[in-house]
Structure 1
Amino acid sequence: MVDSLVQTTDAVSPRDGWRYWKDTVLAAMDCQNLDHGAPFGARRSVTSVAGGIILDTASSPLSVHRSARGLARDYIDFVALTVFVEGHGLGDPRDSGGTALSTGEIALCDLARPHRATGLTRYRELRLYMPRAAFSARIGPIDDLLDLRIPAAAPLAALFTRYFRGLCDLLPTLSRQDADAGVDGVAHLLSALVAPRTGIRHDGGEQASGGAMLRLAESHIAAMLGDPAFDGAALMRAIGVSRSNLYRVFAGRGGVAAAIRDARLDRARQRLASPADRHLTLVQIAYRCGFEDYSTFVRAFRRRFDTTPRDCRRS
């Protein structure tokens, strides 16, 4: 499974919660507790993935400030994508006063510049830190996007938030490969969200929407293929597209069900060849790749690879 660092105030007394959080998790920031009348509580998970770092934070109201002095001490060359999935606050990517961020609204911040962030209520905030070079290549130049606020009602915004939140909820159960695939889907959705501002079409002309939808669907399949109940209907609901559009983009791959089955078989073959999975039985690998019936798995594996799972492992 993917490794996450979990930081929480649960292990300290309520009266010491703020001091603990300020002196450990927020030690590199100037910070302020905004609700002195109530015990402070917070929890954060930090997960490193191929595309960057995911932070999932639930906290009492607070404000944090990254000053020029702090940046000079420990420079961080990342771009942060931020969305409040519960509660609301302020975002201030230019350290100049701040603008309101409501639930479901999406904002970007250059972490190499002084900036502020505030949770005005108890909140849950999701962040993806992407290296600057990767962000520029996948999304666009951050200098053109600093003031961008994508409202919750914007096209694709609700889908983005639902997908990102679902990925964060699933992280404790995902392998590193599945988590990386899920983050790739987040990046694809973000590129589509900011395209009207950047003018960048990552897939070219009229094919952009279909190509982005296909890659998003593939990323979600990779993240969910261990769930035996996952099927075309679940994929359609997860990425928020119509049945006709989903089946259109998979027409060249034999359909959605065939694409999910083949992804499961490909993952099974990878795990059969992996020294890290030598302790697993063939039945366990089949089950972890979404096959409930082992004989069905063996037949499908033979049809796809012209060999059996047992012989594949031996080779």
Structure 2
Amino acid sequence: MSEQSVMERDHQHSQADSDVLLEVKNLKKYFPVTAGFFKRKVGDVKAVDNVSLTLKKGETFGLVGESGCGKSTTGRTILRLTNATDGQIIFDGQDITRLRGSRLRKFRQNFQMVFQDPYASLNTKMMVGHIVDEPLRNFTDKSSKQLKSQIKELLVRVGLRDTDYYKYPHEFSGGQRQRIGIARALAVNPKLIIADEPVSALDVSIQSQVLNLLKDLQEEFNLTYLFIAHDLSVVKHMSDRIGVMYLGHLVEVGSNEAIYKEPLHPYTQALTSAIPEPDPTKKKERIILEGDVPNPQNPPSGCVFHTRCPVAMPKCKEIVPQLREVRPNHEVACLLYDED
């Protein structure tokens, strides 16, 4: 290979790396299970097991799956709200997996979270203005007057009034409380926001307002989202790329269009078949999965989905499928697409 070709390849590689804001490699989060008087460890709940994903700057990556599949734990582990058991979390080119103390605190303003319950995530004894400016006080030396003016502007930007600065959480509706949570997340001007089921606790009539607000803010503030949800229609509306999780594993990753029009994994096919068809003249075949989700403390051998898979093969009980690209920008962890 010529020297010029090598330089062009390295330039393309560095350019691709510069587009990636977050890279998660083989992330694991196990919770120990103890028993007896001495609380001896007898096992692990494998909430997140060997998950790898990337987020490009400015995109929305949707993480979808049934309740208990490890979506929220993945988000909380990426944010370092809980420590990873194993793996790497690389944010903007720096490995933050083992950061502690002041070094971790310095990175905190780069990523924030919008929580599922807009009431439980707010301190009911604090005024809204103080709730929103609390994270900002940790990263700025602005005066109280400057902070108040900035927070009032931010409240207006998320669809509230500047006079709401002086109110308390109980004086707002669920949708308004979630707007407060969004304002708090935006206060420190983060690069990444992890939205954990941000509309699941809201009325359907309010959900679209909050989702559209998140989209508008993403464009205005150049935000990157990891959007966690179990509602497939919501994920479809919000996401550029989608990752499907099952029992702590990422089983399929692809573009929004690929996941919904041509799902490859049997689990994804079952999920998408459950999406209601708005046209009553079109008939849609529903795939009903048999059995229950296995216990994450004692997951099945081989492919974790084989106990419920309608097309499982004998080798699925023995071989753990690896996530790999089988179509352009479309990855799946399934032995049905094994080249062998």
- TM-score of the aligned structures, taking structure 2 as reference length: 0.28
Q: Which has the higher contact order (CA 8 A, sep 6+)?
A: 2
- TM-score of the aligned structures, taking structure 1 as reference length: 0.29
